[in-house]
Amino acid sequence: MNLSPVQWVPLLTKRYVEICSKKDVESSELHYSLNTLLLADATLSQSELLHKYQDIGSQIVVMGPTQSGKSTLVNILLGQIAARASPLAGFTVHAQGYAQNYPEADLEIIDSLMKPLERRPANTLEASDLEHYALENVADHPSALIRNAVVWDTPDFDSIASRSYSASVYKSAALADVIIMVVSKDKYGDKSVWDMLGLLHALAKPLLVCINKLDEPDRAVVNKAFVDRFTEQFKTTAPPLVLLPFKRTSTDAEIPDFSQSDLNELQQALHDIRAQSSRQEQTDACLQFIKDHEQGWLAPLIEERQYYTQWLMMVQQLSDDADNQYAQSYLNNPDKYDSFNRALAELLSLLEIPGIAKTLSRTRSLVTWPARRLLGVGRTALSRTPLSNDGTANTINQEGDVMAHIFDSAMVSAQSQLLEQPDTLWWKALSQNFREQQPDIRKRFVSCSEQTRAEFEPEIEIAAKALFEQLQAQPRLLNTLRAARVSADAAGVALAVKSGGLAPADLVLAPAMLSVTTLLTESALGRYLDTVKLDLMNRQRQHVMETLWISCMANELTSLADSLTEARLFSRDLEPDLQELLDSMIGEAGRHDTGRHEAGRHDNN
């Protein structure tokens, strides 16, 4: 895979955000992929800037579920009331950073790390506008537990509404040099907490866990339960764990009165974990995180590509079936196939006798049918022309009728196959597109059918000329054929065809045609006659296959899958970089499957 994650992760993240924002998209798998993508995208985009600006100080991010005491802990770290605490779930919906006397230039650097979120003063943030965050300076308070840092208060990640503001959570987490996970004694075992711990662990984020609101008798039990579960689940040593007691305050604008020993423990743990922070290690871990998750992220696109490939195979089979049916119903059907008969009729027009040419010409003029059009040069289809009720001619083209019948059968088959497919969004979108577009597709097919037949007419004249050139090499046979043509009154044949009494398929029964055909068949040119006929049929079959079944019908059906408008499809309007990535992933999967097949074949041998 030649694409860098920097090229495709943001594109895929944007696609997930657009799709998962739809009200009827409830898949937990999709939302998990979105969350991991948001985290990876934010970490990836910020790692380069964090390396560039090493001296902007530590970013300490406080995370946790609802009502765990995040804002309270932020105030404890800063030694002052900065963040607004509230007992209401989901009260904080924006990321809010508190910098300890940072120059504005440094705040602007941090602002660039939080893009596309826009910075706003904290007192102007509105709960209904989730595309903003706050970053403000606070005094470096003497009782603060940390220095030269930005402390971030973040929204919860477990409430029903958290999906709407998850970007703030993951942007903040990606920015972090140290993450403090704050949970209450009632929520430290929740699945959402452990899912988040798993993500942070995979990204090698320096982590400090603070379990809040504990009663003294529960400390030892909770401590052991957390450490054991973390060790078992992640197969590694548990992060530093700080246990804080339950402290009641009279107002939300009051810092709980923790003991000095509790504060010292928290400060020391934070100091130790801060010293271990490595931005390069986090960048390396992020790349590995992307590698571990890319297959899952791309799964919806791969699935839709597989459906697309299946559809192309169906379309190809429909084209092959149409080709075989065309050969059976028209080319190999003597009651319908008339192309070679028209070539023989054209040969009649080439068998001119200088002495009577003017007479024949006058005869043709009387029936208003010039020689080249009379006996079939392929510029006007010869056919029966019965009259309609108003007396006008209704042209019936045997080949055109066969083509239309084959097309209608193909459409019925396509619709039947669509109904048999899995009940997925992609197939439903394709079925709907098929139903809506089918009338227009048929109109375009009729036009293509007429054009296809018209484009092949010169080939009929070429076949006649090839026969005539062979006759010129045998003067005796040529003169015999000319005599046969005159005696049989070829112009009368033309009149019969023009009046509707003789169809091209019946030309072989006309006196002139019988004479010419018999003489050619019984002469030394008999085998050559068969060769010309077979060659004409093969060229006609190839021409119809390429210009009608493939370029017209197959392309129309393929375009249905290329023009799906369902907004919830991952593969809709795919960017070139994502297209390249998808091709690479599918190509690698195909090579692996081939390798396994070859290995199995050798093992069996």
CA distance to 41, 42, 299, 518, per residue, from 167 (Å)? 10, 9, 22, 85
Query: What integer pLDDT is reported at residue 88 of this predicted model?
Result: 60
Separation CA 306–CA 319 (nearest Å)? 20
Q: Out of 21-35, 128-142, 236-250, 547-561, pick the least confident.
A: 21-35
Write out the two tokens for 104: 């504005």
Query: Which positions ≥6 away from 111 have C-beta within 8 Å?
Result: 119, 135
Confidence of residue 89 (pLDDT cuts 50, 70, 90): low
Does the pLDDT at position 270 exceed 80?
yes
Amino acid identity, position 294: E
How far is it, in rounded angstroms, from Cα 601 to Cα 605? 6
Contacts of 68 (CB under 8 A, 6+ apart): 156, 182, 183, 184, 187, 212
Least confident of 183-192, 301-310, 539-548, 582-591: 582-591
486 pLDDT tier (thresholds 50, 70, 90):
very low
Residue 256 has pLDDT above 60, yes or no: yes
Q: Of 493, 188, 228, which Cα lies nearest the Cα of 342?
A: 493
Say whether pLDDT at 278 is over 80.
no
pLDDT greater than 70 at residue 334: yes
pLDDT of residue 356: 38
Per-residue pLDDT, 110? 86
The rounded percent of the chain whose pLDDT value lies above 70 is 76
Average pLDDT score over residue span 306-311: 96
Cα 18 off chain centre by: 15
Structure-block tokens of residue 589 = 């999967």
Amino acid occupying residue 166 = S
With a pLDDT cut of 90, the percent of the chain lying above it is 42
Phi-psi region of 197 (alpha: psi -120 to 50; beta: other; left: phi over 0): alpha
Burial label, 4 (beta-carbon count in 10 A; 0-12, 13-18, 19+): exposed
At 410-445, the pLDDT tens digits run 999 999 999 999 999 999 999 999 999 999 999 999
Quote the tokens at residue 91: 């009260």
pLDDT at 197 over 80: yes
> What is the average pLDDT score of the chain?
80
CA distance to 158, 345, 374, 506, 511, per residue, from 500 (Å): 82, 16, 13, 11, 17
From CA 160, how far away is CA 171, in angstroms rounded?
19
CATH architecture of 56-277: 3-Layer(aba) Sandwich (3.40)
Residue identified by tokens 């040119």 is 525
pLDDT of amino acid 384: 40
Predicted confidence band at 472 (pLDDT cuts at 50, 70, 90)?
confident
Distance between CA atoms of residues 54 and 600, nearest Å? 53
What's residue 352's pLDDT?
Answer: 59
Q: What's residue 525's pLDDT?
A: 58
Higher pLDDT pick, 511 / 541: 541
Cis preceding linkage at 475, omega within 30: no
- pLDDT(497) > 50: no
Confidence of residue 483 (pLDDT cuts 50, 70, 90): low
| Dihedral in degrees, nearest 10, Cα atoms 153, 154, 159, 162 | 150
Give the 3-state secondary structure of residue 27: coil
The residue ranking higher by pLDDT, 472 or 481, is: 472
The residue ranking higher by pLDDT, 546 or 500, is 546
Residue 97 contacts residue 287 (beta carbons within 8 Å): no
Give the β-pairing of 96-100 and 149-153: antiparallel
Helices and strands in the chain, H and E counts: 20, 8
Q: What is the pLDDT of residue 345?
A: 73
Q: Could you give the CA distance from residue 131 to residue 167 in angstroms, rounded to a whole number?
A: 9
**More confident: 343 or 254:** 343
Do 156 and 162 meet the contact criterion of CB atoms below 8 Å apart?
yes
pLDDT at 343: 81
pLDDT of 179 over the 80 cut: yes
What per-residue confidence (pLDDT) applies to 484? 55
pLDDT at 598: 43
Asked whether the beta carbons of 351 and 487 are under 8 A apart, the reply is no
Q: What is the pLDDT of residues 341-394, one digit of tens each?
A: 788 777 766 765 444 344 444 444 433 333 333 334 333 333 444 434 444 334
Query: Domain residues of the chain, as ranges?
Result: 56-277, 299-380+389-563+578-592
| CA 139, 144, 147, 149 torsion-angle sign | negative
Confidence of residue 517 (pLDDT cuts 50, 70, 90): low
Q: What is the pLDDT of residues 136-175, one digit of tens each?
A: 999 989 999 999 899 999 998 887 667 677 778 888 888 8
